Structure formats: structure tokens, C-alpha cells
């Protein structure tokens, strides 16, 4: 089994990144100056991740405010409105209010993607892969506020077909190696089984529109009978990233049949706790993956890392890197 | 001489925080950069309290607070003063807004009074009959912290409840008559409400002064089943932020209501008539003798001139309704500490 280190979602913004945002917000920087400075900070992060042997990574998402923004600002038929709590965290996201038909309408996303991927390539090793990050259709639906009488199923389809297919095309065109879809809503308690099933069908359709690998990141909730259909092989190019802090090993053993999943991601770094995990914890999940017959195991953070400060976040990434080195030595 | 325990009908209060004067923010910055001594900063805090208390009183507030001038943030402030906390650094809450999230890394212990000096200074500089001391509640402190020492959030919350209880008793001993427990997180995990409510009660155990409970950013239908069980005399809740569409949720409340009449998230200053209209509407549910008037939440995040204008609108609007009540012979209401309001 191959262990591949993966950096998922965003890295916490340090004081310097916060200052850049603050200067943009106060009008001291225009969008292009803002982009230059943000990408410089991204380069530093990517260099660090390169030293730690993270083979697949994002740019750190210093230009994102949350998992929905600025992505949804490129959608027609919505307005970005008030803040909503991001699951059970002291973190809030700006949510879309549905006003009409949802369609992709570029508001600078394509340019950001291109600039960021080009910037990353300058510092990455040739064997590293860079991922673009998008919210999944179910999570977009979960956080949407409806003003019109649309069913959740229709809304899910609108986000998927009207917005995400085009977003994925733009990501591909920009030159990314992979796509990271965040779907924490899949394991939210109040997501219905019907929607779970519908979301799976939409995910398969999205996956069929691209040849790029898609990593579906699931966090803050556990798998159960309702959503276990996602624990089967989804599509050739889709890898599921699960949250071991919410999922028991017994649950995986129950729902994943041996040898059915060639590639699996496990978020063994808890992005909500500043203390590092133990090698024993990593080992337990590594052994489980082996037992399930996984050939490609992605180890990384379970969620965007904005919930802890930069220093502990970096320590945790370093520790996981040390673990992998020891496993390779052994 | 015995203190007159009556307040004007519809007593006006604040939730707690008020915008820091610009010069105070400058001095805090200078202190953080090592340019001025702590003593100077302390003096600046005192001066700021004098200024904002006067500002509240001049704008008709009957029960002022010290504006929480000394507190950067409502959880962080207490975490610095309670033993067992550690700070790893700031994290984002939304957009580019940060919070220095504390971590519970050891047994929690009350070290020394946290708010007594604040209260004593406020009492000295305010000419109001009663003043209010806000204190962050145990559930919110736990919910907004990393819990790395205790096995569960519940365990940590009850430890914090004992600490908050000790602090409220210290305030009572120092002469405080009105303490408000702030619990913005209380309803955020409905499945934890049963024990969270008991933790708030633990914090008020053996206390014999007026206790208010402020809950905001919330779905009050989650709070409603616990109105009776919560051992407090007053709920201070936000309504303006919801255009008063949610006032039905206080039907059946037998305690005092601190009624939020101005929206602290909007810079638009409400008109006195809007305030009066809202008060008339709530009086269809809660009798005037059981009503206090306050902003939805702390005014801290507003520009100072807007906060001041909102206080004035609150007073002017209340004055309109007070005149109407006067005609019915309702001029005063007693300062109650009991957990019910004569229903």
C-alpha cells in the first residue's frame, strides 16, 4: 500500500495574510495587487509542504474566506447574504440566497485559478499535484437559502448542472491536476436520505465530465446506514476522504467490503484540535486501510485548517510527514 | 436611608458592551507595542468607563454598564483570568475577523475576583440607582474553547459554572445587585440544552441578587421549553434583528423580559416611533411591569456615534410609550430579583 500525503482545503491565515486582506478590504490594494501578495504567501506555504513531502496539495486557499466564498460569487441567480454557522464550529460562512436559475457567470474565478496554478507550478516539484477546491453540490444546497418554492432535489441539480459542471471545466482549463470537492453536508444529521442518493448520482455525473481525479472531502460527521452508499466504489476517478474523528473503524469495516476501494483518503489530522495526533492513531488507520485492501492511501487533514492557529497546524502537518518517513524506513 | 427600589416603568438598560473611544483604541495599540506602561492604560480604561457611563446616562439609560471597556472579547477576557487556560493563537471566525480561541489544558480554577474592581469603579462613577455587570456564562466559555483537558464539554462546563458562581458571589458580596449572564452559544447545540441549562443554574446557585440571562444569535424556540427551569429573573433577548417577527416566542414567559428594540448589526438608526411601535407590540404579550428595554445585543461593533444615536432612539421611543402608560397610572416598576414577575 502506498501512503500519499495530502494537504486539503485551506491553511490558517497568519498575521501577514490577514494584513493583506485587511489592506484589500480598506481599498489600499486593488485586486491585482492583492492577488500578487496572496500568491507570494501561497508560494511560501507550498514550499513548506514540498519539504514535508505532501504530494498532493491545494494552494492554501488564502484567497478564500470560507469553503463557499469566493466560489459562489461566480454564480448567477443567487445573492450572497448573511452569515451562517458552519456546522458546530465557531466559524461562519456567507451563504447564497437563491433568486433565480443558477448558472456559472465568471466574476474573476477563472483568472484566480489560472494565476494560482501557474504560481504553484513555479515552486512545486514535478511529482507534486495541485488541486482546485470547490464546494460539492450537496453542501451548496445545504447552505442555500431558498426564497422560491424549489425542492431541495431541484436545487441540488441546479448547483450541479448549472454551476459545478462549468466550474470543473474552468478548473481543468486552468491546468489543475485534480479537484477537491468538499461535501461535509453528506454526514450532517439533517441531510435526508433522498438527498444523499441524489447527490451521489450528481457526483457521478460530475465525475464523468472530467478525466481529472476528484477527491471528495467529508468531515464533521459519521457514516451510517443513511449515507453508507457513498462508501462503495463511486467512480474510477473519485476518492473519498473520510473523517476518522467522527467515523469508527467498525463502521468502515461494516460498510466497505474488502478490496472494493482501491484508493481512500483518511483525514488523520484533526483540523479542530491544536494538539497533535499520536503515531498510534495514524497507525491504527493505516492498518485498517490495509485490511480493507486499499492500494493508495491518502493521509492528510480532515477539514480546512482554519479552526486552529497556523503554528499548531504546521506542527501537525510536520508530524504526519515524520510518520510517513518512519513507515517508509521500516 | 432605605434605597428606593422602584425604577421608571419600562426601565432602559444595555446588554453590556459599548464602542471603545478612538483614543482608547490608540492607547491599547501603544500598550501592545510596549510604548506605554500598564498604569497608563489602566487610567485610560477608567477614563473610558467614565465617558461611556455618562454617555449612557445622558441618553436615558436607567441601568448602565461599564461598556466592557476593559474586555477585548467576551470569552478571551475570562479565559485569561481563570487558571487552566492556554492560548495557541488567533483563529478566524468569518471573513477577516479573528478570535483568540482559548484552550482548556488543565484543571480550571478561580484565582481571584475577575469583575469586582470593574463593578466597584462603575458603581463609583455612575449616578444611576442600579448598574449592570455582564459576565460570560459557563456554556459559552466552554463552547468557544478547545477542550483538551476534560473528557467532555459537559464536564468542562460544570467546572466553569462553579467558577462563574464563585465570581457572582464575589460580586454580590461587593454590593452588586444586577448581574447578567451572557450565553450567546446556549442554543447552538439543541441536544446539549438539558445539561447546559443546569450549568447556568449551577452558576446562579445560592445567589441572592437579580440575575439576567442574555441569549442572542439564537433560535429562541429552543430556549422556550426552559424558561421556567432557568433560575434567572430576566431574559434579555434580541428581536429588532428579526424585525420583531419572532416575538411570539415569549408567550407564556413568567419572568421579566429585556426586550431588544434596536438592531446592533445595522447602522441604520431606528426611529423613536419604530421603537414605540415595537414596545406596544410586545406589551400585547408581556405586561409593562415585566418589561425592560434594551438593544438586541452589545453595541460594541457599531461606530460610537451610531451607538449613541441608537440609545437616544431607544429612550425617545420608550418615552412615547411611558407617556401612554402614565395615563393608565403606570409610572414605576420594582427592581425584582425573584425568578418570576408576578404572573
For B121, residues 6+ apart whose C-beta sits below 8 A from its C-beta are B46, B49, B66
Name the residue of chain B whose CA is nearest to A91's CA.
Answer: B93
B235: left (phi over 0), alpha (psi -120 to 50) or beta: beta
How sure is the predictor about A330, in pLDDT bands with cuts at 50, 70 and 90? confident
Asked if B101 lies within 8 A of A13 by C-beta distance, the reply is no
- Checking if the pLDDT of B1 tops 80, the result is no
The whole-number pLDDT of residue B86 equals 97
Q: Which residues of B touch A311 (CB under 8 A)?
A: 88-89
Q: Which residues of A touch B88 (CB under 8 A)?
A: 274, 308-309, 311-312
The whole-number pLDDT of residue B3 equals 72
Of A90, A111, A18, A46, the residue nearest A317 (C-alpha): A46
- Checking if the pLDDT of B273 tops 60, the result is yes
The whole-number pLDDT of residue A88 equals 87
Q: What cell does B50 get?
A: 467614565
Backbone angles phi, psi at B291, to 5 degrees: -110, 135
CA distances to A13, A20, A133, A330, B81 from B96, in Å: 9, 10, 20, 44, 27
Torsion sign, CA atoms A186, A187, A193, A197: positive
The whole-number pLDDT of residue B116 equals 98
**DSSP labels, A165-214:** HHHHHHHHHHT-SEEEEE-GGGG-TT--HHHHHHHHHHHHHHHHT-SS-E
Q: Using N-to-C axis directions, what is the helix angle for A109-123 and A31-51, rounded to 10°?
A: 40
Substitution target in A16, A64, A90 with the highest count of B β-carbons within 10 Å is A90
Substitution target in B92, B190, B196, B222 with the highest count of A β-carbons within 10 Å is B92
- Checking if the pLDDT of A266 tops 60, the result is yes
Percent of the residues in chain A that have a pLDDT greater than 70, as a whole number: 100
What is the pTM (predicted TM-score) of this model?
Answer: 0.90
Nearest by CB: B91 against A88, A92, A309: A309
- Checking if the pLDDT of A147 tops 90, the result is no
Percent of the residues in chain B that have a pLDDT greater than 90, as a whole number: 94
* Distance to chain A for B295, nearest Cα, Å: 20
Q: Return d(Cα A170, Cα B42) in angstroms, integer.
A: 56
* Distance to chain B for A260, nearest Cα, Å: 36
Q: Euclidean distance between the first and final Cα of chain B, in Å?
A: 31
Substitution target in A81, A308, A309 with the highest count of B β-carbons within 10 Å is A309
CA distances to B18, B24, B55 from B72, in Å: 11, 12, 20
Asked if A85 lies within 8 A of B188 by C-beta distance, the reply is yes
- Checking if the pLDDT of B46 tops 90, the result is yes
- Let me know if B20 is exposed, middle or buried by CB neighbors in 10 A (0-12, 13-18, 19+): buried
Locate cell 452559544: which residue? B185
What is the per-residue pLDDT across A58-78, written as a single tens digit (0 to 9) for each? 999 999 999 999 999 999 999
* Distance to chain A for B192, nearest Cα, Å: 12
Average pLDDT over residues B120-145: 98
How sure is the predictor about B265, in pLDDT bands with cuts at 50, 70 and 90? confident
- Checking if the pLDDT of A258 tops 80, the result is yes
The whole-number pLDDT of residue B217 equals 78
Average model confidence (pLDDT) for chain A?
A: 96
Q: Return d(Cα B162, Cα B160) in angstroms, integer.
A: 5
Q: Return d(Cα B294, Cα B77) in angstroms, integer.
A: 23
ipTM of the complex: 0.92
Q: Which residues of A touch B101 (CB under 8 A)?
A: 90, 309
CA distances to A231, A252, A253 from A260, in Å: 9, 12, 12
Of B339, B60, B318, B313, the residue nearest B181 (C-alpha): B339
The whole-number pLDDT of residue A326 equals 96
Indicate the helix (H) or strand (E) that contains B304: helix B304-326
The whole-number pLDDT of residue B122 equals 98
Average pLDDT over residues A26-52: 97
Asked if B94 lies within 8 A of A83 by C-beta distance, the reply is yes
The whole-number pLDDT of residue A82 equals 77
The answer to whether B121 and B66 are in contact (CB under 8 A) is yes
**What angle (nearest 5°) sits at the alpha carbon of residue B145, between those of residues B144 and B151?**
125
Substitution target in B79, B90, B94 with the highest count of A β-carbons within 10 Å is B94
Asked if B89 lies within 8 A of A309 by C-beta distance, the reply is yes
Asked if A273 lies within 8 A of B148 by C-beta distance, the reply is yes
The whole-number pLDDT of residue A146 equals 85
Span of B81-85, B262-266, B281-285 with lowest mean pLDDT: B262-266
Q: How far is CA B16 from the centre of its chain?
A: 5
Asked if B88 lies within 8 A of A311 by C-beta distance, the reply is yes
The answer to whether B336 and B8 are in contact (CB under 8 A) is no
The whole-number pLDDT of residue B343 equals 64
* 3 state DSSP class of B91: strand
**What angle (nearest 5°) sits at the alpha carbon of residue B237, between those of residues B233 and B240?**
150
What is the per-residue pLDDT across A73-119, written as a single tens digit (0 to 9) for each? 999 999 998 788 899 888 999 999 999 999 999 999 999 999 999 99
The whole-number pLDDT of residue A232 equals 86
Q: Which residues of B touch A13 (CB under 8 A)?
A: 92, 96
Name the residue of chain B whose CA is nearest to A70's CA.
Answer: B95
- Checking if the pLDDT of B131 tops 70, the result is yes
- Checking if the pLDDT of A170 tops 80, the result is yes
* Distance to chain A for B82, nearest Cα, Å: 20
- Checking if the pLDDT of B2 tops 70, the result is no
> Edge-to-edge strands of the sheet including A145-146?
A75-85, A92-104, A145-146
* 3 state DSSP class of A146: strand
Q: Return d(Cα A159, Cα A164) in angstroms, integer.
A: 6
For A279, residues 6+ apart whose C-beta sits below 8 A from its C-beta are A323, A326
Average pLDDT over residues A173-188: 98
Q: Return d(Cα B8, Cα B26) in angstroms, integer.
A: 38
What is the per-residue pLDDT across B94-106, written as a single tens digit (0 to 9) for each? 999 999 999 999 9
Per this entry, what is the length of chain B?
343
Nearest by CB: A90 against B88, B103, B144: B144
What is the per-residue pLDDT across A223-242, written as a single tens digit (0 to 9) for each? 999 999 999 888 899 999 99
Average pLDDT over residues B200-213: 98
Name the residue of chain B whose CA is nearest to A65's CA.
Answer: B95
What is the per-residue pLDDT across A302-323, written as a single tens digit (0 to 9) for each? 999 999 999 999 999 999 999 9
**DSSP labels, A67-118:** SSTTGGGGEEEEEEEEEEE-TTSS-EEEEEEEEEEEEE--SSHHHHHHHHHH
DSSP state of B154: H
Amino acid at each position: 500500500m502506498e501512503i500519499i500525503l495530502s494537504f486539503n482545503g485551506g491553511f490558517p491565515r497568519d498575521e501577514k495574510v490577514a494584513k493583506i486582506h485587511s489592506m484589500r478590504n480598506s481599498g489600499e490594494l486593488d485586486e491585482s495587487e492583492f492577488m500578487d501578495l496572496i500568491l507570494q504567501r501561497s508560494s511560501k506555504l507550498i514550499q513548506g509542504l514540498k519539504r514535508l513531502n505532501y504530494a498532493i496539495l491545494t494552494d492554501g486557499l488564502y484567497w478564500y474566506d470560507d469553503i463557499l466564498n469566493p466560489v459562489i460569487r461566480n454564480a448567477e441567480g443567487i445573492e450572497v447574504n448573511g452569515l451562517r454557522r458552519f456546522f458546530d464550529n465557531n466559524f461562519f460562512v456567507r451563504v447564497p440566497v437563491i433568486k433565480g436559475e443558477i448558472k456559472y457567470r465568471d466574476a474573476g474565478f477563472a483568472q484566480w485559478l489560472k494565476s494560482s496554478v501557474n504560481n504553484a507550478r513555479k515552486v512545486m516539484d514535478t511529482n507534486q499535484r495541485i488541486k482546485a477546491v470547490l464546494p460539492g453540490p450537496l453542501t451548496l444546497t445545504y447552505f442555500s437559502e431558498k426564497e422560491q418554492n424549489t425542492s431541495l432535489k431541484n436545487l441540488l441539480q441546479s448547483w450541479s448542472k448549472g454551476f459545478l459542471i462549468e466550474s470543473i471545466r474552468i478548473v481543468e482549463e486552468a491546468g489543475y491536476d485534480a479537484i477537491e470537492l468538499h461535501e461535509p453536508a453528506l454526514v450532517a444529521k439533517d441531510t435526508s436520505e433522498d438527498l444523499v442518493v441524489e447527490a451521489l448520482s450528481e457526483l457521478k455525473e460530475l465525475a464523468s465530465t472530467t478525466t481529472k481525479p476528484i477527491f471528495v472531502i467529508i468531515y464533521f460527521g459519521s457514516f451510517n446506514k443513511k449515507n453508507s452508499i457513498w462508501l462503495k466504489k463511486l467512480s474510477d476517478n473519485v476518492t473519498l476522504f473520510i473523517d476518522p474523528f467522527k467515523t469508527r473503524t467498525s463502521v468502515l469495516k461494516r460498510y466497505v467490503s474488502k478490496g472494493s476501494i482501491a484508493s481512500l483518503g483518511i483525514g488523520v489530522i484533526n483540523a479542530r484540535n491544536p494538539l497533535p495526533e499520536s503515531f498510534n492513531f495514524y497507525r491504527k488507520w493505516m492498518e485498517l486501510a490495509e485490511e480493507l485492501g486499499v492500494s493508495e492511501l491518502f493521509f492528510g487533514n480532515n477539514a480546512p485548517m482554519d479552526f486552529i492557529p497556523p503554528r499548531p497546524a504546521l506542527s501537525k502537518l510536520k508530524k504526519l510527514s515524520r510518520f510517513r518517513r518512519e513507515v517508509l524506513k521500516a | 436611608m432605605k434605597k428606593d427600589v422602584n425604577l421608571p416603568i419600562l426601565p432602559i438598560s444595555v446588554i453590556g458592551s459599548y464602542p471603545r473611544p478612538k483614543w482608547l483604541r490608540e492607547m491599547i495599540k501603544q500598550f501592545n507595542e510596549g510604548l506605554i506602561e500598564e498604569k497608563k492604560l489602566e487610567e485610560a480604561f477608567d477614563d473610558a468607563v467614565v465617558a461611556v457611563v455618562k454617555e449612557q446616562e445622558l441618553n436615558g439609560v436607567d441601568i448602565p454598564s461599564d461598556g466592557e471597556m476593559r474586555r477585548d472579547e467576551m470569552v478571551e477576557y475570562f479565559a485569561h483570568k481563570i487558571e487552566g487556560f492556554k492560548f495557541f493563537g488567533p483563529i478566524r471566525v468569518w471573513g477577516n475577523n479573528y478570535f483568540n480561541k482559548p484552550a482548556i489544558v488543565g484543571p480550571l480554577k478561580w484565582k481571584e475576583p475577575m469583575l469586582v474592581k470593574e463593578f466597584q469603579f462603575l458603581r463609583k462613577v455612575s449616578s444611576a440607582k442600579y448598574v449592570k455587570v455582564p459576565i460570560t456564562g459557563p456554556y459559552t466559555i466552554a463552547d468557544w474553547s478547545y477542550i483538551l483537558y476534560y473528557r467532555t464539554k459537559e464536564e468542562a462546563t460544570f467546572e466553569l459554572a462553579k467558577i462563574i458562581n464563585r465570581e457572582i458571589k464575589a460580586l454580590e458580596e461587593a454590593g452588586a445587585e444586577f448581574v447578567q449572564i451572557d450565553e450567546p452559544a446556549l442554543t447552538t447545540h439543541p441536544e446539549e440544552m438539558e445539561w447546559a441549562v443546569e450549568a447556568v443554574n449551577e452558576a446562579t446557585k445560592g445567589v441572592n441578587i437579580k440575575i439576567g440571562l442574555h441569549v442572542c444569535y439564537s433560535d429562541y424556540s429552543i430556549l422556550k421549553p426552559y424558561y421556567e427551569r432557568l433560575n434567572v429573573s430576566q431574559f434579555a433577548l434580541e428581536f429588532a434583528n428579526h424585525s420583531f417577527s419572532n416575538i411570539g416566542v415569549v408567550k407564556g414567559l413568567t419572568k421579566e423580559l429585556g426586550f431588544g428594540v434596536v438592531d446592533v448589526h445595522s447602522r441604520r438608526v431606528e426611529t423613536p416611533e419604530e421603537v414605540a411601535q415595537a414596545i406596544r407590540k410586545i406589551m400585547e404579550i408581556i405586561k409593562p411591569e415585566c418589561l425592560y428595554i434594551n438593544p438586541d445585543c452589545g453595541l460594541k461593533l457599531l461606530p460610537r456615534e451610531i451607538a449613541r444615536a441608537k440609545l437616544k432612539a431607544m429612550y425617545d421611543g420608550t418615552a412615547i410609550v411611558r407617556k401612554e402608560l402614565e395615563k393608565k397610572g403606570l409610572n414605576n416598576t420594582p427592581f425584582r430579583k425573584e425568578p418570576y414577575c408576578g404572573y
